[in-house]
A and B are shown apart, each in its own frame.
Chain A
């Protein structure tokens, strides 16, 4: 049976999220050389963040282990923190770390899990933005 149009759209949008996560993971790993704190965070921390569709049927994971961040498709993998994307276009790489909580408060994105990992993820993203000069003013990198 042919897939319905809304279902297809949903899959396509979520595929874009998956691509975004892959790009994010690759970029974060590369940026570590530019920021000692980012490098230290990637080496010290671990965590699994799940990004799932509103019905929970589609899911990708960001996995931080052994000093590397990777985007992984493994629906059964237990996560420390889950973002539920009711509308995948509501989340983008342009969301600043300090606004993650705002997105959650606005109920655009669902959440569950250990809040420590949400905050840790936000911290890593803030270091990534600093390393890529992406995110406005911040405490400068040591020596820069």
Chain B
């Protein structure tokens, strides 16, 4: 135990102490990490089986969806097998496997059905599956949910709108809701600070206070009753884990481990039913609540928020009372980090090109401004950062915030960790993000209290049902529709309104009008489709547990899926910004201003994928203005574009009454979608990858990283409320040279001073990446930053590996 100490003022020597620890100082975590990395992802059966059992026994009550969902979730939580692995200090398993794939038959799990018997043998991401699981899913579970999944239920009840048919072509926009509620930050402080006994009691009191007998009153009473039921479920889950810990302690021969299991049993008897009092209790309370939330909502980017802020009082109390020292705190954090790797979404083969290598993307946000506007950097910020550095795992996704007065030490340590991991953390600028969130209606203290979700998205923590990945919009198809009179060239189908052919346009204004018309068309269609799913979600699949741990639903007596949260935004993520910018800039300058190429010739060259039009291709590649060079001609188009997209969604409110936040991050969709896009006027050939996130096209930024960052910094933050992924790559060999880390610091600080929003790095030499592409052993644990999330290089498809290799290298 540590001596009683004070951490009122953070001292550099304490940070030094934290960064002096090595992973070998934590042999438990060395073992746990190894076990986790060696564990093969396996399809989980238990949750789906229990859910189906419940409905088969009790029926699928369509009249009272809140009670149906709450009762079924309670049944699942009460009956899940408590799974505890040797050495674990943070317990609670999302599935019955050490590394599981959670299945949600009520959403889109059946997408994996055609390849279930070949999953263990597929080339990319083989997944283990038992014969029992195949049999259960194929002959009982999938057939049961045939007409009870969000997608089909919506079609049956609301018809088959054109917007849904268009989404089913995949290439123009995609809506995330058929996969369940995700991409948000629950307010886990509610579970940690109040506990589920208090939540349940509060729900009962509020239910008893509801007056009247009208529909609204009945619905409110049903909502509060649902909260009571799910609270009981979470507490039952904890009790089962407590009993299992005690049982394991009874047979544990090693006294140290026996003591740990007894302590875990004590903790789980207490939390999350009651308020946590220690750091250990607070971590366990949060994690077990998270496990429960993932039995109700899909495991996609459900994030933790600002853990260094809300966990700090617990850590400080323990530290000052001598219950915990820095090493003990770090060990618990390492255990939590490893535990977040215990589940990964199951991606069908076809999805490999779109979401290749993606984990669950549970984000943890560190440092930044407090709601009062002060610097929030503290000892836990450094402990959480160091844990990332020591483990170098893809989960959790660690994101670090900065503002004008962030401590230099914080800057330096973050950059050192980026250099060390080669990929994480990503860096966020409060000075751009806080105004962006305010512009969309967040109160200033709330905007300052933002956390990062999933890849890069930013919302107020704990108060927002944000669905930040709600609408994926492909900007490149909009340009294609604008050039081809509303026809999508790949299929030859008329998709958008007839707005003319490129060969017939006589000015850039005419082209822009066509582009705007197609953009407005797809924005409207995507909103219509999202509304369809949101309505279906609210009616078929309310989320009482999530509602219990979000700020708003309890006060309003309204489920989060129906608009109960304090803020109710939806996120749009846009693919193709840089390619469309450069293409529009090329058309403006080369075709309509300088007339180097006629509209007819450009149209013919594009249709021929530039074959036979080599001169036109060379002009497009070399003479057009390119975003990423601090070139006003290109950057103005980029600014105009992001304003146009924001403008296109501005008139709409989502089903829950909230605004649309637009962002530019792409996961690996820029390679997947690139395969479906024809040649573009920036010289990009048919099928080539699009540029990632808000990053310039690879090879287009020829004036160095400073100019590239300057271009990105010009994008107006209020139009980027769903954030950006700004990918940069620095060769590791360069960063190893003396003074280069300081240069990197200046580069990032300069970008942030210009109100640049976000930046993330891959630190790797091209030669290493090329070698890793051909050497699976080397690639397996090599961390890289994709367009948002962190992934193992070996998990990426070849197109994505090549895209990272091709990224412009920042020579600093």
Chain A interface residues toward B at CB < 8 A = 37, 40-41, 44-45, 86, 97-102, 104-108, 110-112, 114-116, 119-123, 125-127, 130, 135-139, 142
Contact = CB atoms under 8 A, between A and B. Distances in A.
A110 B491 CA distance: 9
A77 to B, nearest CB: 18
B134 A114 contact: no
Contacts of B676: 105-107
B114 A125 contact: yes
Interface stretch (B166-174, B358-366, B538-546): B166-174
B114 A137 contact: no
Interface in B107-124: 110-111, 113-118, 120-122
B113 A112 contact: no
20 contacts: A37-B138, A86-B492, A97-B118, A99-B349, A99-B350, A101-B114, A102-B353, A105-B171, A106-B676, A107-B488, A107-B490, A114-B152, A115-B151, A116-B146, A120-B110, A120-B113, A120-B142, A126-B117, A127-B117, A130-B117
Contacts of A115: 110-111, 151-152
Given A101-B349, A115-B110, A122-B113, 4 more contacts: A97-B115, A98-B349, A99-B349, A107-B493
Contacts of B353: 102
A112 B169 CA distance: 9
B155 interface: yes
Nearest to B122: A98
Residue in B116, B120, B351, B493 whose Cβ sees the most chain A Cβ within 10 Å: B116
Interface residues of B, number: 44
Interface in B147-195: 147, 149, 151-152, 155, 160, 165, 168-171
B490 A98 contact: no
B329 interface: no
A96 to B, nearest CB: 8
B750 interface: no
B348 interface: yes
Given A107-B488, A110-B491, A123 B114 contact: yes
Interface in B302-356: 348-351, 353-354
Given A99-B349, A105-B171, A115-B151, A126 B115 contact: yes
B115 A122 contact: yes
Contact of A137 (B118, B168, B169): B118
Contacts of A137: 118, 121
Given A99-B350, A101-B348, A107-B169, A116 B117 contact: no
Contacts of A122: 113-115
Interface string B766-796: 0000000000000000000000000000000
Contacts of B152: 114-116
B243 interface: no
Contacts of A116: 110, 142, 146-147, 149, 152
A39 to B, nearest CB: 12
B190 to A, nearest CB: 36
Nearest to B488: A107
A139 B113 contact: no
A75 to B, nearest CB: 20
Contacts of A135: 118
A44 B171 CA distance: 34
A139 B120 contact: yes
A119 B350 contact: no
B491 A107 contact: yes
Contacts of B493: 86, 107, 110
Contact of A101 (B151, B350, B492, B675): B350
B744 interface: no
Contacts of B146: 114, 116
Given A112-B165, A114-B152, A142-B131, A98 B118 contact: yes
B111 A101 contact: yes
B350 A105 contact: yes
Contacts of B116: 123, 126
B142 A102 contact: no
Nearest to B178: A115
Contacts of A125: 114
A102 B124 CA distance: 15
Contacts of A120: 110, 113, 142
Contacts of B488: 107
Contacts of B36: none
Contacts of B350: 98-99, 101-102, 104-105
Closest 9 CB pairs of A and B: A122-B114, A98-B115, A101-B350, A137-B121, A97-B114, A119-B113, A102-B350, A107-B491, A138-B117
